[in-house]
Structure 1
């Protein structure tokens, strides 16, 4: 009976030892640029580089380079995707019918400035019957979006409204992870340059690859900043047109005449300024010619006088 108990105890200890060995030799996977790389052992005795494409393998095999433990450990410090808050890009399209463009625009600018927003672009069209219409694109902090929309709606008659929310949380977190992994790869190559890279060909290959990785990091960082800007500032595209009531209430022959005279004066003034601008450019561009003609004339007169005196 005692012998049987000892046999069972030995069997339990053997199973426990094998289980612990499997846990110690668990492989670590890394993710770079959306691709899953080859796994490598987390034990200190391995000293092998993770697979990072043929260029890295060729360089490390030819020079026998190894990475420091700190670099390998960095791959376990992946950014937590669960900590990223929801990233929404909000776009709003609204259409308003307004009475008078001038006073409406003045009030709109006041609301925009109070809300910490800004006008990124605008377009104004004037039809043959002097109706004004167009569009204005406003960038507003996401916290102020609802308040600014409510204020804008008070400036005219709302005819249409469309709100669109684009969830880019997945794209955002994936891009952050790719940047993180690219930076780890950059650090690995920096360690190679500082370490055992002695051959000129290896050094040039590492520097070339390092430059390519840095370009990718810069490109992805710019895209991440673009995402941040689109998330932090919502976009309002405001379409507007003047109401026909304006024409019915105030239009007359004299209003037409005044607008036509103002338009003609404006066109005439622009033409006059264009002529003056052309004359100034002509005079400035001709300065060298005027100088040559002036001194040439003086020299010619002096030469003719000397010739006349010689003959006499």
Structure 2
């Protein structure tokens, strides 16, 4: 009886020991599986931006397989930030400002020089300059110029006022383009790709198979291309926002166009009309005098040719007339002789 109790106690201890051993083994197995699965399981963040940003597809041939592989590994382009957080980091809205000025001047060279000097002084730069008109042998005297200047946005009003002080601005237009949403959208896509790039780099360090390495490298190459594209787009927007575009059309004139906005009375209209008529007459006389002096050699040459032609014509006419007077006299004498002979018969 005592032996039977001892055997039962030994069997009970054996069972308990076996259960403990199995529990430890199963725990080790589950732990190993969990750690192995964690290498290729990255938690997904389900937070979406206010604008529902989607990752741009990579413009490469292997992008499809790379994206599928990324999804297989649990890598997606979702981000852990919101568009509101991105916008909060921006000091102000992204607004592109453009100004067009049409200017008249009687001192063309001086105005162009002043504008160029002020562009440099204010920290801007001359994007394009075009000047035409007034060739040396051309009869026209007016010139035209177009200057496209990029001015820091905080110096824009100062530059426009300076142009108005030195020229007669007859037309001014301005426009603004708010590109904040476009900027935030591009920035969000860039941040999303950077996060995906970091995850892929981390995954690449742990990957051992050649196929996975090639796939990840292909996707990383596509991401680098997209990041460069977005960085270029962001720099372009920043440049357009930080430097306003001012297009100045300069016309050289001899008489300024009145820019007063007060209502014209009958007397003012008569005064302006009479002044314009006198100005036109004066300009006409000056132009005629210039034309006469410039073309004087041609006029002298034609006068000589016409004089010679008239003299020659007169001599020919006089000679022909004398000839006609001699011929009829001979005819009369012949007729008288014939008539006399007939009468004698």
Paired with 1:226 and 1:53, the residues of 2 have a C-alpha distance of: 29
Q: How many residues are paired up?
A: 210
Classify 1:215/1:173 alpha carbon distance in 2 versus 1 (closer, same or farther; 3 Å): same
Verify the 8 A CA contact 2:54 2:189 in the aligned structure 1. Answer: no
Paired with 2:55 and 2:197, the residues of 1 have a C-alpha distance of: 17
Paired with 1:109 and 1:36, the residues of 2 have a C-alpha distance of: 44
User: Which residue among 120, 126, 131 is the counterpart of 1:119?
Assistant: 126
The equivalent residue for 1:34 is 53
Verify the 8 A CA contact 2:150 2:245 in the aligned structure 1. Answer: yes
**Could you report, residue by residue, the CA deviation over 1:26-54 in whole angstroms, capped at 9, with x for unpaired residues?**
962356993289xxxxxxxxxxxxxx976
Verify the 8 A CA contact 1:121 1:137 in the aligned structure 2. Answer: yes
Classify 1:207/1:193 alpha carbon distance in 2 versus 1 (closer, same or farther; 3 Å): same
Verify the 8 A CA contact 2:55 2:189 in the aligned structure 1. Answer: no
> Following TM superposition, by how much is the alpha carbon of 1:108 offset from its aligned partner in structure 2, in angstroms?
1.8
Paired with 2:146 and 2:74, the residues of 1 have a C-alpha distance of: 60
The equivalent residue for 2:217 is 207
**Could you report, residue by residue, the CA deviation over 1:97-132 in whole angstroms, capped at 9, with x for unpaired residues?**
110211222222232232222211111110540311
The equivalent residue for 1:97 is 104
> Following TM superposition, by how much is the alpha carbon of 1:189 offset from its aligned partner in structure 2, in angstroms?
1.0
Structure 1 stretches of 4+ with a deviation exceeding 6 A read 249-252
The DSSP-based 3-state class of the residue aligned with 2:169 is strand
The DSSP-based 3-state class of the residue aligned with 2:128 is strand
Classify 1:28/1:161 alpha carbon distance in 2 versus 1 (closer, same or farther; 3 Å): same
Paired with 1:241 and 1:121, the residues of 2 have a C-alpha distance of: 17
The answer to whether residue 231 in structure 2 is matched with residue 231 in structure 1 is no
Classify 1:66/1:156 alpha carbon distance in 2 versus 1 (closer, same or farther; 3 Å): closer
Unaligned runs of 5+ in 2: 1-42, 57-62, 257-281, 295-345
Verify the 8 A CA contact 1:33 1:181 in the aligned structure 2. Answer: no
Verify the 8 A CA contact 2:97 2:174 in the aligned structure 1. Answer: yes
Q: How does 1:227-306 map to 2 (within 5 A)?
A: 227-245=237-255, 248=283, 253=290
Classify 1:177/1:27 alpha carbon distance in 2 versus 1 (closer, same or farther; 3 Å): closer
The equivalent residue for 2:80 is 76
The DSSP-based 3-state class of the residue aligned with 1:28 is coil
The equivalent residue for 1:139 is 150
User: Which residue among 147, 152, 155 is the counterpart of 2:163?
Assistant: 152
- TM-score, scaled relative to structure 1: 0.59
Classify 1:54/1:144 alpha carbon distance in 2 versus 1 (closer, same or farther; 3 Å): same
Paired with 1:88 and 1:238, the residues of 2 have a C-alpha distance of: 21
Paired with 1:36 and 1:230, the residues of 2 have a C-alpha distance of: 25
Paired with 1:207 and 1:36, the residues of 2 have a C-alpha distance of: 18
Classify 1:27/1:107 alpha carbon distance in 2 versus 1 (closer, same or farther; 3 Å): closer
The DSSP-based 3-state class of the residue aligned with 1:35 is coil
Verify the 8 A CA contact 2:187 2:234 in the aligned structure 1. Answer: yes
Which of structures 1 and 2 has the bigger CA Rg?
A: 2
Paired with 2:204 and 2:52, the residues of 1 have a C-alpha distance of: 23
Paired with 1:175 and 1:97, the residues of 2 have a C-alpha distance of: 42
The equivalent residue for 1:106 is 113
Query: Structure 1 residues 115-124 or 77-86, which shifts more?
Result: 77-86
Paired with 2:94 and 2:79, the residues of 1 have a C-alpha distance of: 26
Classify 1:88/1:200 alpha carbon distance in 2 versus 1 (closer, same or farther; 3 Å): same
Paired with 2:154 and 2:286, the residues of 1 have a C-alpha distance of: 41
- TM-score, scaled relative to structure 2: 0.53
User: Which residue among 187, 212, 216 is the counterpart of 2:198?
Assistant: 187
Query: Structure 1 residues 126-135 or 205-214, which shifts more?
Result: 126-135
Unaligned runs of 5+ in 1: 1-24, 38-51, 258-312
